[in-house]
Structure 1
């Protein structure tokens, strides 16, 4: 999942504070020349605070210069605004990253405060009528018609960004917009803080731990019992292997109740305020407002896309429910047995073991993190014409963080960090995160933030197939960021409902034995993963695939309902909404009374009206992959075309045209429909 900090700066907050000088007698690690590495190990809370205020002061001076400029040209309006955007972007990303990953609580707090400080400045800037009027005057001039494609796109997008930030509102409505933006950001931050700081464990005796892998149990053994933390890194193992149904139910209930005591109310307020903000802006719903800049353009298109997929997948999902329910009945020796949500992963695993001799937990032994990273790097390097060189003894925020430089031949192209394992108070999800955009001759800098299975006392980090897929996906975002070499920072990121496609495409490489066999080797014996086992793994992935797809669509429908069907006169319970969607889908009761999935779901918090974009993007990803199927999965020529036409594009040219040029034809959904295996 790629984090987008500035979606036209909708969710912004706080008032700005005064400028402070750098900490006395000490150089601030952030205040370095362009393309100079930040000395993260030396960063103090005071450095973060000063860095944000230093940028605020510099940006205010830059804004003043634009407004005083007597002439109006592309360079002194739009070029200058892009320089400002880039300065804010880099500082905000660094501050927010410190909030997510720093091991020091005060540094985390200062990182969040610095991000909010610059958001407040951005709110004021993007509603500045003097700058906006200069933009409009340029667009009305003959010089606008002379612009080449990417510059014309920049002008149009920047003007739209101002308009979506309330520049044309009356003074009263603009004040409402700013207040709502601030309140939404405060709520969103509190939601994330609650989710990331949630700590719960499931205590099991030997009976409760039946079925769990021995290495897994050993890692969490405390005296004569086991204490399993309720985190992403343990979820897949517990839900897929615990043979005791009460254990699965207890873990499931705890997992989907993280932060529920606080976040249910926060979500209710956030949905209400986003609806109010949309109406202040003149849109009927928040979804209408949020999709203006997307490929879909409006929520109706997103709804049509999602409903069409539901109609295609529903019957397969129903058949999968019968399949899993029969497996449960068989295990209970013919007794009545209803399939429950906490059973899905377990009985899918049981069928995979019985029919295909595939044990996903045992297969982890063939996928140690170190070997997977090397194999993945080899594939990406060959395909994209890049080289990744590990930096020895880098200055980082945690000792386990690694740093790499990216080269094309002898030319340095960018740098990225890898922070792969969970630790207390770290952001709990998986992201490819931008730090520096990489405009012009500036190197892009990024970070892969993960929460993969940690090494234990007896074994290295061993990845599940789901984690391997996540690794290839998130690193796809990293090479996307490393590929950009455009003229403007503002055009580095693609549209929100296309951006996932560029990394989803790379997931296909782990479905090919020739690729996987280069790195899938048993961590103890060094023996490669057998071809027969791999073939069975691919067949096993199809077990209950319809349920997996319908659950993704369920979340799409939920997200769209929250932000496109909200009625302030009769606000619907966010728990009741799950029940209503279950009835609408007619597959099974996925909702478990007493659980609150929406209380710990990052997307509806920080990425509203985003979830449909995963499936929308996948249509493009699988279509683009057909070129690699045709030309070879390590064909550098095809990979370089993909890198230059798609990864490096951002929004420099129309995405549909770029995809058509890469494919040599208009895009279609044939590959995606085939992938559903209906």
Structure 2
């Protein structure tokens, strides 16, 4: 039986102990790799693969712990220790990927008599070794190793500059006109009579949505679009240059070609074609959406000739309130954080046949963090941690982080949800409906990691499918945040306990259709930006000029001089060239969801069939096969097209 999960203990210890644990993981991995290479031929397949799997899992899990600590630990010394450890761990991972002796052992194994998941894993392993450059000459492998190690450091620096740069604007109290009463109370004027609004999400999003003062919105918008400037100007340039050098050294025309090759999409050309296909499909709708916003702006400013980017969220909300009879502020009292959290837990528990048990006294790295065990009857499935509220030096967006990669019979999977939702306190923690969708989305990633964390090999565990599929399960779970029955199960007024009225939910869904064209085109701008920055020659590349060019191409909002969105676009590190993934996955998610539309969103039967077919196999099958196993057919574009044209 796997041991009780306790990986968080190694994040809550002193920095020196954390370093020692990382060093122990390095030693475990090194000794395992040496043992693998010393196996006499003919080698036993299972023995060799088990040694390799455990060696690399020790490295992977230590790196995962370091990533969680680096992104969320409140102690600077611990963040520094985790950053240093992560570099050492990644260096060894690179060394193993370039070790011809390891490759030769795995390539020598006859897996023809093994089961399908094992054959699939070894096929992926050999491909990844070759993509890493293991079959190149020694000089090439040496330079590849240097580049990989440097890229780890550059990526950490890029992320750190974003995480640590929270901007604050000082405004007169009158700038809060239009904001909800709880927001106004939480932003009382300081001794100088000014209110202070930060670029953290719980401040930023409501302000941009509700503040009537356009000049105040502009000031906050510009502050947010200047984060990580100027620090990341040079850092991003190095990131682009080193990745380009690495890709060309390995025989690819650019990094985008390298990054797309092992994805469902297969090539940078296909990625570019997909972006254009979606952009074209949404072009006319986007144009209509923009004209509606402009007409609404002219009610306030009769001579207005264009909508500014800091007007978009505010005008979008006004249109929904006035033309669709949906006031987004009116639903916030129904989305109090603790009730939303319980709703997500209750719905997913019912659908997937598991229960969640809060772990009192579990080691956590901040008092805000909560730990939960996931149980199937009396059997433990895994553990997750909720780190859900903003604080200084913490990751600024919303994401699921791996903590432990599970393996059947040996280790239970552990995961962390890291978000930035309002925190319960003196004021009720009232969420936007978009926050509720985000909660469901990230919980979808978490369930994928936990349910997929019981494969026979750690190398197949969790979300180790093609990268451009991993958003589909999380995007599909967002649908429960839009369903009447699902919402009414938890969305109750924090004062009266009345459920969110069904007619309000229906109006909300109709209102949500407005602005879809603009949203899709904005997503295609992000996708095109990530692809183009990595498919163009970086020498002499002006990243800001690329932003200027593509923003005008894909959106009706021209680039605003003196802003630097791309410098705080963290996906340029993690996702690099493949931001298209989000829309590619959404096409699949909409198709997966048709089964639930037919059989009922609160019906456990399709949910558990989906769990078995799509989530539990992890990376043991190609993503297209997982989807076909569930749908009974290949996925197609029809459901997405219906969604895009709805309303």
Q: TM-score range by the shorter chain?
A: over 0.9
Once the two structures are superposed, what CA deviation does each residue of 1:478-531 show, in whole Å capped at 9, x if it has no partner? 111110211011112221100000111111111210110111111111111111
Q: 1:199: how far off?
A: 2.8
Residue 182 of structure 1 pairs with residue 182 of structure 2: no
Check whether the contact 1:90–1:435 (CA below 8 A) recurs between aligned residues: yes
Shift of 1:590: 3.6
1:165 corresponds in structure 2 to 132
Check the 8 A contact 1:153/1:652 in 2, yes or no.
yes
Q: What residue is the counterpart of 1:148 in the other structure?
A: 115
Which structure 2 segments of 5+ residues have no match? Answer: none
Match of 1:552 among 520, 523, 527: 523
For residue 389 of structure 1, report the CA deviation from its aligned partner.
1.1
The aligned residue for residue 17 of structure 1 is none
1:531 maps to 502
Give distance in 2, aligned partners of 1:405 and 1:475: 14
* In structure 1, distance between residues paired with 2:62 and 2:258: 27
**SS class of match (1:164):** helix
2: CA distance, partners of 1:41 / 1:322: 51
Q: CA deviation at 1:456?
A: 4.3
Q: For residue 389 of structure 2, what is the aligned residue in structure 1?
A: 421
Q: Which residue of 447, 452, 458 corresponds with 1:479?
A: 447
Q: State yes or no: 1:350 paired with 2:318.
A: yes
* 1:451 CA displacement: 0.8
Question: Are 1:402 and 2:370 counterparts?
Answer: yes
Show the counterpart of 2:308.
340
Residues 69 and 76, structure 1, Cα contact 8 Å, conserved in 2: no
* 2:262 corresponds to 1:293: yes
The alignment partner of 1:177 has SS state of helix
Match of 1:55 among 19, 25, 47: 25
2:597 and 2:503 map into 1 onto residues whose CA distance is 22
**2:80 is the counterpart of 1:99:** no
Q: How does 1:104-143 map to 2 (within 5 A)?
A: 104-138=75-109, 143=110
Q: Which residue does 1:269 correspond to in 2? A: 238
Q: Secondary structure at the match of 1:338?
A: coil
Q: For residues 214-293 of structure 1, what are the structure 2 equivalents within 5 Å? A: 214-221=181-188, 222-223=190-191, 224-293=193-262
Quote the Cα distance in structure 2 between the aligned partners of 1:579 and 1:399: 43
After superposition, what is the alpha-carbon deviation per residue over 1:93-126, rounded to whole angstroms, capped at 9, x for unaligned? 1122111121111111111111111111111111
Q: Is the CA contact 2:7–2:404 (under 8 Å) kept in the aligned structure 1? A: no
For 2:400, what is the secondary structure of its paired residue?
strand
Q: TM-score, normalised by structure 1?
A: 0.92
Cα RMSD over matched residues?
A: 1.6
1:580 corresponds in structure 2 to 549
Conserved in 1, the CA contact under 8 Å of 2:7 and 2:403? no
In the alignment, is the contact (CA less than 8 A) between 1:219 and 1:456 conserved in 2? no
What's the offset of the Cα at 1:40?
5.4
Return the TM-score normalized by structure 2. 0.96
8 A contact 1:217–1:226 mirrored in 2: no
1:595 and 2:563 matched: yes
CA distance in 2, matches of 1:173, 1:36: 41
Per-residue CA deviations over 1:192-236 (Å, capped at 9, x if unaligned) read: 111111132111103333222232122122242211112122221
The answer to whether the 8 Å contact 1:40/1:396 transfers is no
- Residue number in structure 2 paired with 1:629: 597
State whether residues 480 and 487 of structure 2, in contact with CA within 8 Å, keep that contact through their aligned partners in structure 1: yes
Within 2, Cα distance between the matches of 1:39 and 1:180? 33
How big is each residue's C-alpha offset from its partner over 1:582-636, in whole Å with a ceiling of 9 and x where there is no partner? 3433x52342111111010110122212210001111111101111111111221
Deviations 1:385-415 (A, max 9, x none): 1111111232211111111111111111111
Greater mean alpha carbon deviation, residues 205-214 or residues 655-664: 205-214
Q: How does 1:20-35 map to 2 (within 5 A)?
A: 35=5
Mark the runs of 5 or more structure 1 residues left unpaired by the alignment: 1-31
Name the SS for the 1:541 alignment partner. Answer: helix
C-alpha deviation, 1:532, in angstroms: 1.6
